[in-house]
Structure 1
């Protein structure tokens, strides 16, 4: 797999992983709310907000490695890997953000 193909694949997968973490966590929070006789909407929206940062961390690998890639390549003057890593993190953020907004829309707390 060439470099650009790997980058696009990684970017897309990180987007959908972050999206899935937020959607899955919020839906399970809704199911849990129903089981304990609470309104699911507010709990789902609140859980989606709280999961957003953790969805990004889960999507990019959950370690400090992405930050190390940025730091080491920037210090050496290699900007291409830095830009690619930042794009991957932004893609994960967009996935988490879109998942949160979708849950808010479903729960009636749209934008």
Structure 2
């Protein structure tokens, strides 16, 4: 049960970060078209600038994660620290995958 919860949480964090990048870039490109900016170049710039926010949103905010780091580290629970690091890595992989999909969709237009 514990492993299943851990894996499902990682999958959720991956797809939340992925969805923030994809959705933010697509909707942002529509806004860029309204103001007369090139949408494909804007999507690439948005994917780069949204990456950190996608990671933070996926893990539920930085304060919760830092609090868990602190309490786990000082209580000697190294496994919980490792779990939090893996959660952050799953969100990072999701954000990077989203950026790669945006680059693929725009064919890397810079």
Say yes or no: TM over 0.5.
Answer: yes
- Structure 1, unmatched stretches of 5+, are none
SS at match of 2:6: helix
Residue correspondence of structure 1 range 7-86 to structure 2 within 5 A = 7-86=6-85
C-alpha distance in structure 2 between counterparts of 1:38 and 1:47, whole Å = 13
Structure 2: state its 5+ residue gaps.
Answer: none
Q: Over aligned residue pairs, what C-alpha RMSD do you find?
A: 1.4
User: Cα offset for 1:50?
Assistant: 0.7
Equivalent residue of 2:42, what SS? helix
Normalised TM-score (structure 2): 0.91
Query: Structure 1 length as normaliser, TM-score?
Result: 0.90
Measure how far apart 1:102 and its partner are: 1.3
Secondary structure in structure 1 of the residue aligned to 2:98? helix
Q: How many corresponding residue pairs? A: 109
Instruction: Using the TM superposition, give the Cα deviation of residue 78 of structure 1 relative to its aligned residue in structure 2, in angstroms.
Output: 1.0
Q: Give the C-alpha shift of residue 47 in structure 1.
A: 0.7
Question: Counterpart of 1:109 in 2: which secondary structure?
Answer: coil
Residue equivalent to 1:97: 96
Please say which of residues 18-27 and 70-79 is displaced more in the overlay. 70-79
Correspondence list, 1:1-12, <5 A: 2-12=1-11
